[in-house]
Structure 1
């Protein structure tokens, strides 16, 4: 990384969000947006062309989504520093992102300065979590509330979310580039870990835990 400039890749499916972020980040000294992506697939493809210092990644994008894109980037580029910038204020999303290798998690509802601080901290190899999320994680561990969702691996979490959203095995297989047999294995494992029996149970569980909207 250059001592002077932190090179940033922005991955978000909303052009207006990307354009606003780009403008705001580049107004700050020492930050430069070198590339933009509108999907997880595109972020994965162009990461290698630019090798940014920090990738600011949304979670909810069409196609494979941010968690899977992050997993692939890190698998190929071990030193990748990915900062999740998401509307999800649910601890489960933050925990899964961090477990999957994210260096930071910032909510879109927070102050913009928090994102700037996060980009700079992550560029220096530190971890940054939005204060609101950090507080929820601390409270959860304080009361000994081990959320059952945390038993899922990041890949199982992503498959679960897609199933709860109504995607079928074909669609999930295509999105995550895994075989239908693998999807079926994940499906079985998820139901066992969460103690669920039917598709309706899965949807209810996902709504109850704020993973999808009811």
Structure 2
């Protein structure tokens, strides 16, 4: 059975265009990256959402960020004998091997994963709560965020609040990893929580002292 086929023509054309322009104009930089290895200063944990272009937001180039993406930019708690090792493995590699100085969790507006979690927790998405859904099992990480926003009557406002909760919960879970806690306390690593407004192009930063997200002017 043949299941892996040739690239679509439009992707081949885009690759050729990239190689003829961006790569050719920066060939020495790409060769430097290949020979010297990666030395990113920061790790970004972002959502898989195709509208969230995390490198473009910070005008970054190759080699600047170590990037991990998953549904709703979540980080599970430290559970060596549990599940969700993909994200945990990426975090471990970034902190212990690459020794990044900053770890950013980037949430965003209109997150489909967060909306799915809201509907699942509200009993409106049985396909996610069936136990056989990878997405549903993953979104259980955010269930405490649903419970903490129970006093918000308006569904859309609650979903936005849950998007912020996804960032808070991920930051809190990161601190359950012993190697992260140790690096933060030794001031070798700083954690940052962000929320990106796709439509308005805005960015808000979480302040743990005030427990608020403040817009970047």
Q: Do they fold alike, i.e. is TM over 0.5?
A: no
Pick the TM interval, shorter chain: 0.3 to 0.5
Q: Which structure dedicates a bigger proportion of its chain to helix?
A: 1
Q: Which has the larger radius of gyration?
A: 2
Q: TM-score, normalised by structure 1?
A: 0.34
